[in-house]
């Protein structure tokens, strides 16, 4: 879609938008830059996107910032990404708090670097009572790991007699995932043209509308967001059912 020709229906906005921010490295390579420069540009876009999503009126936003598989990247790139996370929390946390944003970090916590874990705790503690946009940052996150941790937790509860195996339902699983208390994403957006979830919110994505766009994350802007939401609103969401009189 070109331009903001499509007027968005404010009554049909996604209640939870999740974004796979992909393409920083390719964006940098195409410009003869180092991959780290792409990540720095990507952080600027992250900041603006949080503002744009809040202004649009979407109440929940999840951003895939660092997967559990990303530790296999070159050490220098990992160091730079850790530095960007620390910089984002230290520089932007006060502003997010002032804007009533509630910050949550999802992902494995028990193996984080010692200088990262306290910052995550601080971000969540400071903003836990905020009532505006809920911003979830998926950091050291992998959906398979999340589901495995949930299964291990419920199995331990069953062994200890706290629950019966018959008590384990989809609803109970959802209450024990990292995203507990937040509605499942109704829209998942991925930049850079790749068309896969890459181990992101696989349980929660059961009925999400998947929107893939070609632009790399450092080129993402309010126009791209508008167009992606318009695409979402053009979809017929049936949740496995069919409308009366429609063909199956």
Q: How far apart are CA 163 and CA 232, in angstroms?
A: 39
* All residues at 6 or more sequence positions from 197 whose CB lies less than 8 Å from its CB, including other chains: 20, 143, 188, 205, 210
Catalytic residue among 22, 52, 92, 178: 22
Q: Looking at residue 14, what is its pLDDT?
A: 98
Q: Looking at residue 85, what is its pLDDT?
A: 81
Q: Looking at residue 101, what is its pLDDT?
A: 96
Please state the length of the chain: 248
Q: Looking at residue 90, what is its pLDDT?
A: 80
Known active-site residue 22: yes
Q: Looking at residue 1, what is its pLDDT?
A: 45
Q: Looking at residue 204, what is its pLDDT?
A: 98
Q: Looking at residue 240, what is its pLDDT?
A: 63
Q: Looking at residue 26, what is its pLDDT?
A: 94
Q: Give every strand in the sheet of 60-67, ordered side by side.
A: 102-106, 134-141, 60-67, 16-20, 187-190, 209-212
Which domains, from first to last, does the chain contain?
Answer: 12-233 (3.40.1180.10)
**Tens digit of pLDDT per residue, the chain (248 long)?**
445 567 999 999 999 999 999 999 999 999 999 988 998 899 999 999 999 999 999 999 999 987 877 777 778 778 887 888 888 888 889 999 999 999 999 999 888 888 888 889 999 999 999 999 999 999 989 999 999 999 999 999 999 999 999 999 999 999 999 999 999 999 999 999 999 999 999 999 999 999 999 999 999 999 999 999 999 999 987 766 656 555 55
Catalytic residue among 70, 130, 176, 199: 70
Q: Looking at residue 247, what is its pLDDT?
A: 53
């Amino acid at each position: 879609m070109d331009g903001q020709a499509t007027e968005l229906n404010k009554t049909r906005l996604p209640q939870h938008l999740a974004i796979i921010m992909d393409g920083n490295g390719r964006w940098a390579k195409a410009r003869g830059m180092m991959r780290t420069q792409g990540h720095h540009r990507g952080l600027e876009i992250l900041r603006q996107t949080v503002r744009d999503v809040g202004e649009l009126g979407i109440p929940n936003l999840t951003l895939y910032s660092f997967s559990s598989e990303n530790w296999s990247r070159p050490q220098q790139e990992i160091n730079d990404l850790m530095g960007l996370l620390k910089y984002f929390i230290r520089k932007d946390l006060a502003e997010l708090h002032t804007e009533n944003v509630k910050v949550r970090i999802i992902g494995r916590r028990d193996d984080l670097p010692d200088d990262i874990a306290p910052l995550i705790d601080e971000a969540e503690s400071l903003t836990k009572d905020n009532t505006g946009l809920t911003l979830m940052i998926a950091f050291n996150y992998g959906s398979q790991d999340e589901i495995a941790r949930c299964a291990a937790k419920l199995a331990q509860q069953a062994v200890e007699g706290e629950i019966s195996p018959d008590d384990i339902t989809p609803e109970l699983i959802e209450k024990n995932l990292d995203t507990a208390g937040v509605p499942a994403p109704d829209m998942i957006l991925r930049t850079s043209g790749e068309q896969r979830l890459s181990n992101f919110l696989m349980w929660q994505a059961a009925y999400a509308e998947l929107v893939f766009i070609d632009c790399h994350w450092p080129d993402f802007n309010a126009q791209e967001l508008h167009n992606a939401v318009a695409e979402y609103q053009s979809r017929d969401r049936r949740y496995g059912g069919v409308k009366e009189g429609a063909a199956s």
